[in-house]
Amino acid sequence: MLERLLMAGGLALIISLILGPFLIPLLHTLKFGQNIREDGPKRHLKKAGTPTMGGVIFLVGIVAASLLSAEQPTSVEMIAVVGSMLGFGLIGFIDDFIKVVMHRSLGLRAYQKLIGQIALAFGLTWVAVQLLGRGTDLIIPFTAIHFELGWFYYPFVAFIIVGITNAVNLTDGLDGLAAGTTLISALCYMLIALLGANQGGGVAVLAHESDLAVFAVALAGGCLGFLRFNKYPARVFMGDTGSLALGGALVGLAVLTKTEVILLLLGGVYVIEAFSVIIQVISFKTTGKRVFKMSPIHHHFELSGWNEWKVVLTFWAAAFVFGMLGIIAYLPSLG
């Protein structure tokens, strides 16, 4: 098992490191440059024109490494989790393509993205329940209790799936922020998947649950390789292609390990980022005042005088703490 994990992480890392120097100049040549919000931190204006849609770099590495390292690469589990990542990534790619290539600033309309995301969410939950026998119960964090939802499982978990994928998208606002936090979350899911496979927790009915650990470590390796080019000052941005794909990968792991609720804790940074936007919008529309200097909240810290690298490191540290809490919250379910 250790060999397969090392192979998956190493392959994803190497492929990302190899693809970067080839793809980044190509994106430059094609003029797939990032547009920068004028109402954001002024220091970000110098990032205008930095190539985007770079999420393709780590997606190729993650998919190749997962399929080459998995015990059963064609199992329904692997197809489901890889499909979740690529499905959400496709929505992001279409959005990026419209904005960057067709020069339509709005990209996909919000309702169009939402329809696609909801369809993928219900598709993922249906596969997990109907084809994999996942059941419609949820693990209650920090307990051994499994709460049965019945048919309500589908809309409830679909809401979490759509929420988290968009929250990861919101987190992708500073160099290396989304890639680093997802790397940490992925390593936590590697541990959760291994614990579930070895102790009979999580989705015990999955015949190849250890392959989820392989996918998780490939996800971490891909993010690590991408950080070589995306850390401050970034040479490439992942775009919605990458950020929605990362969200899709995490929710896929969550559904297949029965940790959808625990993901809200393990991915606490994403949740905080999303809630900062919600709070800001509600406050401004009801009182005309803003709670934060700018949302998502990472921009608030920037405008408060923190340099970008300090914000990113602080959020990485927070992601580590939330990840450890998520693992602790999962342990009682192992029985």
Cα separation, 62 vs 43, in Å, equals: 32
CB-based burial label for 224 (10 Å; 0-12, 13-18, 19+): buried
pLDDT reading at 266 higher than 70: yes
Q: What would the two tokens of residue 55 be?
A: 């999420």
Residue 66: its pLDDT value, please?
Answer: 96
Look at 203 and 143; give whichever has higher pLDDT. Answer: 143
Cα separation, 208 vs 78, in Å, equals: 9
The answer to whether the annotation marks 169 as part of a ligand binding site is yes
Residue 138: partners with Cβ closer than 8 Å, 6 or more residues away: 146, 147, 149, 153, 156, 157, 258, 260, 261
Categorize the per-residue pLDDT at 38 as very low, low, confident or very high, splitting at 50, 70 and 90: low
pLDDT reading at 326 higher than 60: yes
| Among the ranges given (30-44, 92-106, 305-319), the one the predictor scored with the smallest mean pLDDT | 30-44
Categorize the per-residue pLDDT at 16 as very low, low, confident or very high, splitting at 50, 70 and 90: very high
Categorize the per-residue pLDDT at 199 as very low, low, confident or very high, splitting at 50, 70 and 90: low
Expressed in angstroms, the distance from the first to the final Cα of the chain is: 23
Q: Which residue has the tokens 């927070």?
A: 318
Instruction: Give 303-315 pLDDT, tens digit per residue.
Output: 999 999 999 999 9
Paired with 146 in beta bridges are 139
Its pTM surpasses 0.85: yes
Q: Which residue, 2, 241, 204, is CA-closest to 101?
A: 241
Percentage with pLDDT > 90 across the chain: 78
Most confident of 22-31, 99-108, 253-262: 253-262
Written as one letter, the residue type at 289 is K
Residue 44: its pLDDT value, please?
Answer: 57
The answer to whether the annotation marks 198 as part of a ligand binding site is no
Instruction: Give 96-127 pLDDT, tens digit per residue.
Output: 999 887 777 677 888 999 999 999 999 999 99
Residue 47: its pLDDT value, please?
Answer: 60
Instruction: Report whether 232 contacts 176 (CB < 8 A).
Output: yes
DSSP 176-189: THHHHHHHHHHHHH
Written as one letter, the residue type at 167 is A
Residue 79: its pLDDT value, please?
Answer: 95
Residue 112: its pLDDT value, please?
Answer: 93
Q: What would the two tokens of residue 3 be?
A: 């060999």
Cα separation, 285 vs 123, in Å, equals: 35
Q: What would the two tokens of residue 155 be?
A: 């809309």
Instruction: Report whether 203 contacts 257 (CB < 8 A).
Output: yes
Q: Across residues 245-271, what is the average pLDDT?
A: 97
Q: Which helix or strand (DSSP H or E) is residue 79 part of? A: helix 76-96
Instruction: Give 151-193 pLDDT, tens digit per residue.
Output: 999 999 999 999 999 999 999 999 999 999 999 999 999 999 9
Residue 1: its pLDDT value, please?
Answer: 80
**142's torsion region: left (phi>0), alpha (psi -120 to 50) or beta?**
left
Categorize the per-residue pLDDT at 210 as very low, low, confident or very high, splitting at 50, 70 and 90: confident
- 157-160: which pairs have CB atoms within 8 A and are 24 or more residues apart? 157/121, 157/125, 157/255, 157/260, 158/118, 158/121, 158/122, 158/125, 160/251, 160/254, 160/260, 160/261, 160/263, 160/264
Residue 147: its pLDDT value, please?
Answer: 94
Instruction: Report whether 134 contacts 258 (CB < 8 A).
Output: yes
